[in-house]
Amino acid sequence: MRKIILSQGQFKHLIKVIKEQEEGEYYKISPQELLNMLELGSYSSALLKPKFFEGKKLYVTGNLNLSGKPIKTLGNIAYIDGNLDIRDTNISSVEGVQVKGYISDSGSPVETKRIRQEDLKKLAGAESRREDGDWDLANPNIDEEGLAANALFDHLVSEDKLDEMDNETKELLNTKIEQLEELKSAYNPTEEDSQDYIYDEMSDLEDEIEELQENYADVYYIIPTGYQPYNKVYAFEVIGLRNQEYMVGTYDDMYEAAIEKTEQLLDDVGLDGLSQSLIESNIDEDSIREYIEEFYDNDIRESPESHFRQDDYELTDEQEERKEQLENQISDLKEQLENTQEEDEINDLEQQIDELQDEFDSIEPDDEPTEEMIEEKVSNLVRRAMKDPVNWLRGMDMEDSIKYYVNVRGVAEDIVDSDGIGTISSYDGSYDDVYITGPNNTRYNFVVVRTN
């Protein structure tokens, strides 16, 4: 162990800090005082041994920031009343330290071990699948998720991101994982020196396991993330490929998912910025027809004179029948008039004929359009407008409204057809077609997309 050489002033300061905290269960110390002490002692691990504090644990009264410091252990620290930052340090364990807030550990051995432990848990969770051969391509009961996982594994092997693990290496890895679990059960971090050899063995095993994981894999290193982003599309992460997630599905299912994602994007950001031709080629004719029909129906009912001439109106059946009656009566009276010589009778017949003629002439069509007239007029106007509905909207000074009558799915389909299924990828927009052969020599076409 390296000796610590302190000046007289540094030693007095160290003793002063310790004596001030002698009362109570813990030695309470502020983060700055602890940092000053560590700096005085060149961040030696020996400074944090219990013997410096009469066997008492250290209680840090606030946020402790050790980021970038040349320190390897938290030693006698038991409680931190705030956050702990050990980024870019050589601290290898936080076991036995209670942290009230959060721990930042990127770039430290703690992060490496934490990730390794997470991967080991995921591998353990996948072990039952491996033992039962659920995702073996020879398994006649393999499900679509298993087929998708095999497609992703083949893709990663072909991209040199994974090396396929042989059976001998699989057995070696399983043995080391079992050994590590046994040591973890026996390890007690509160017993210091007597447990050092177990800790060292655990660290060595973890390193060996990590090396095997980094260099070899099988399909069971593909781990479902636990959610399906789209129907019949599967999301996976991969042991050994940190922060890399993938979506896999058959070509048809991924095509549909790409359209769905594009629709969602268009709903979020709108259609502004899309080419006019793309919008106009995807007009939703049903919705715009419905609007035009409603527009003309309202307009005709409010201003019928703008749409009908006088001769467009027709007599009702009752009016037609009355005019026919009057015509017959006038005809009869005229015949009588021709056959009479009496002056008084002639005058009387002529008077009757004039009265009937006046009534006949007064019968005219009503100036209110009938339902049949309105329906026919609306139908004709709509038929004419639908020959070029976009131009009709422009003619009505409604060009800004065109986007409200767009078939968004049609736009999404055109975008996917033009840009490819890779539009579903939020990583680099690329995708890979993977063909695998499952049970009974059935061939499947899957699409693999990286999402982050």
pLDDT in the model for residue 430: 86
Cα distance between residue 356 and residue 333, in whole Å: 10
CB atoms within 10 A of CB 63: 15
Query: What residue ranges do the domains of the chain occupy?
Result: 8-107
Find the mean pLDDT for residues 186-192.
66
Q: Look at 184-193, 208-217, 368-377, 404-413 and tell me which has the smallest mean pLDDT.
A: 184-193
Distance of CA 9 to the CA centre of its chain: 61
Cα distance between residue 386 and residue 88, in whole Å: 68
Phi-psi region of 250 (alpha: psi -120 to 50; beta: other; left: phi over 0): beta
The whole-model pTM stands at 0.56
More confident residue, 246 or 176: 246
* pLDDT exceeds 70 at position 87: yes
**Regarding beta strands 77-80 and 98-99, do their DSSP bridges make them parallel or antiparallel, or are they unpaired?**
parallel
- Cα-based distances in Å from 151 to 4, 145, 250, 434, 448: 58, 10, 10, 6, 8
Write down how long the chain is: 452
* pLDDT exceeds 70 at position 97: yes
- Looking at every residue in the chain, the average pLDDT score rounds to 84
Cα distance between residue 248 and residue 85, in whole Å: 38
Q: Which residues contact 33 (CB under 8 A, 6 or more apart)?
A: 17
Phi-psi region of 43 (alpha: psi -120 to 50; beta: other; left: phi over 0): left
pLDDT in the model for residue 198: 79
**Regarding beta strands 103-104 and 234-238, do their DSSP bridges make them parallel or antiparallel, or are they unpaired?**
unpaired
pLDDT in the model for residue 69: 92
Find the mean pLDDT for residues 59-88.
91
Closest CA to 449 of 276, 145, 245: 245
Q: Which residues contact 115 (CB under 8 A, 6 or more apart)?
A: 242
pLDDT digits (tens, 9 = 90+) for 28-57: 889 998 888 888 888 887 777 766 666 788
* pLDDT exceeds 80 at position 124: no
pLDDT digits (tens, 9 = 90+) for 375-431: 999 999 999 999 888 888 888 888 777 778 888 899 999 999 988 888 888 788 888
pLDDT digits (tens, 9 = 90+) for 240-278: 888 899 999 999 999 999 999 999 988 888 887 788 888
- Cα-based distances in Å from 12 to 54, 73, 76, 77, 387: 17, 24, 21, 22, 96
Token pair for 109:
């051995």
Closest CA to 435 of 242, 245, 151, 71: 151
Task: Give buried/exposed letters for 236-250 (b at 16+ CB in 10 A, else e).
Answer: bbbbbbeeebbbbbb
pLDDT digits (tens, 9 = 90+) for 320-352: 898 899 999 989 898 888 888 888 888 998 899
pLDDT in the model for residue 213: 67
